[in-house]
Amino acid sequence: MAKDKVRRPRAETPKGFRDYFGAEVTARTEMLQAIGRVYRAWGFDALETSAVETVEALGKFLPDVDRPNEGVFAWQEHEDTDWLALRYDLTAPLARVFAQYRNDLPTPYRRYAMGPVWRNEKPGPGRFRQFYQCDADTVGAPSVAADAEICAMLASALEAVGIDRGDYLIRVNNRKVLNGVMEAAGVLDPADPSRFEAERGIVLRAIDKLDRLGEAGVRALLGQGREDESGDFTKGAGLAEEQAELVIGFTQARRDTAEATLARLRELVGTSATGAEGVDELETIAGLLAAQGLGDRALIDPSVVRGLGYYTGPVFEAELTFQTLDEKGRPRQFGSVAGGGRYDDLVKRFTGQAVPATGISIGVDRLLAALQARRAQAAAPAGPVVVTVMDRERMADYFAMAEELRAAGIRAEVYLGNPKNFGNQMKYADRRGSPVAVIEGGDEKARGVVQIKDLVLGAEIAKNASLEEWKDRPSQVEAPRDQLVAQVRAMLEGS
């Protein structure tokens, strides 16, 4: 290989992945820490599984094709070793863990987990192949008290990260009620649950799109089907008009009070035993939430169904109700930032025995975006104080200044590039978002003083001031060396 001809590697993030810098990382970390403290206070224990699972344990993506990688990143080392894959959520690993350690874990087992998950899907704007999830689940508790607890804890977590009361709603529904309505509509036969399974799937997905398609769109999907603006046709569930009426009635069953909503639901499920059970469960949950003072923030909303197929009972969703403006000044609604529900069959895959479970997953990136939009008016997080280098023989002096500032709780660093050109040091401080620069040349050293430059004020003056004002340089202050910390602090508090 000729030395000069070696092709250099491209310095690129793989397609669909991204890097996170500085405040993007710390803001997320702080949010997750605040949520973790709430989960722990409620008796949930941390669990961290490895990113890698066997494809077999992950399930859903079983190796029925040559390369079982639909939706996941998967690989096989050798022909005789297991297919491995990156986890695509935090629920599948929880089911594996509970099945694996069930004799050693307390029952019920309350656990929380936070970390990245991976999806081998086509990336899109704002959609990446690696993103964070933050889940809390209770495994082994059949009572809907566990569902009510999850909803109350979710409210507590949202408030802990800075969403005020009145700015969010927890909406609760129950799949059993929906199944009761399907029974009443004749698309679910309790004696043969496999009949009409495809139709029910279409109904479920149609209701889940109510927000986006409106009542007319959902009606079309419940009937013969719907053609969208691009001309694409989606086949409908084929329900007759009276059947569709029942389903639409279900999504619109919300009334002003929980009592009235529950009464309406009882009408809709008719004689279905499953439906009645579902309404009873909703009543219990509503009662528990009201008793905990959440009556104003949690409500029964039959239009919430959640898209996932595996829910078997209560389902819930947290919605942010405030509006912010996007970069272009357009109103922006954040909508759902968390969702979950009861799923009683995931552990059964491993053990053959049904294990009741319920849980919530917080959409980390969406919640973070909402928080940041709210705080957009607040000052951007400041960079460190930069101690400039005027005399490269006196690095120890500059290090000592930075250490004094840090000991006083002020983020600080010494300039470590080539100090020759002072302009470069100022450009560096600018790029770092530094609020203050400290300068001590030979003259200052001899006189026992330091120059302290207010870079925030300086930038404002540079933008707005006349040449005269600029010359006065009121943004720079000379202070005795032993007043360094006090003077920097005063400047930081002033800015």
Q: Which residues are annotated as a binding site for L-histidine?
A: 89-91, 119, 133, 137, 306, 310-311
Q: Which residues are annotated as a binding site?
A: 89-91, 119, 133, 137, 306, 310-311
At closest approach, how far in Å is the CB of 486 from its own copies?
A: 19
Pick between residue 114 and residue 279 the one whose CB is nearest to its own copies: 114
Which one-letter amino acid corresponds to residue 183? E
Which residues lie below 8 Å from residue 238, measured CB to CB, with a gap of 6+?
199, 223, 224
Q: Which CB, 143 or 372, lies closer to its own copies?
A: 143
The distance of closest approach from Cβ of residue 130 to its own copies in the complex, given in angstroms and rounded to an integer, is 5
DSSP 163: P
Best CA proximity match to 139, nearest among 177, 97, 173, 174 = 97
Residue with tokens 């975006």: 369
Q: Helix or strand or coil: residue 452?
A: strand
* For its own copies, the closer CB: 151 or 362: 151
d(CA 484, CA 467): 29
Residue 179 CA to residue 423 CA, distance in Å, equals 71
Q: CA-CA distance, 272 to 468, in Å (whole number)? A: 84
Residue 354 and residue 139: Cα distance in Å, rounded? 11
State which residue, 74 or 134, has the beta carbon closest to its own copies: 74
Q: How far is the CB of 135 from its own copies (least distance, A)?
A: 14
Nearer to its own copies, 324 or 372 (CB): 372
43 or 448, CB closer to its own copies?
Answer: 43
Note the helical H segments in 270-361.
273-291, 348-351
What CA–CA distances, in Å, run from 105 to 79, 101, 154, 310? 35, 6, 24, 24
* Torsion region of 16: left, alpha or beta (phi above 0 gives left; psi -120 to 50 gives alpha): left
What does the DSSP 8-state code read for residue 483?
G
Smaller CB separation from its own copies, 31 or 288: 288
Taking the least distance from each CB to its own copies, the nearer of 73 and 310 is 73
- 45: Cα separation from own chain's centroid: 19
Q: Are 466 and 474 in contact (CB under 8 A)?
A: no
Cβ 244 to its own copies shortest distance, Å: 33
Q: Which residue has the tokens 């280098």?
A: 389
In whole angstroms, the minimum distance from the beta carbon of 492 to its own copies comes to 14
Residue 243, Cβ neighbours under 10 Å: how many? 21
Among candidate residues 97, 60, 57, 63, the one with its CA nearest the CA of residue 79: 63
| C-alpha to C-alpha distance for 5 and 37, rounded to whole angstroms | 55
- Least distance in Å: CB of 236 to its own copies? 30
Q: Shortest distance, CB of residue 286 to its own copies, whole angstroms?
A: 11
Residue 308 C-beta: closest distance to its own copies, Å: 20
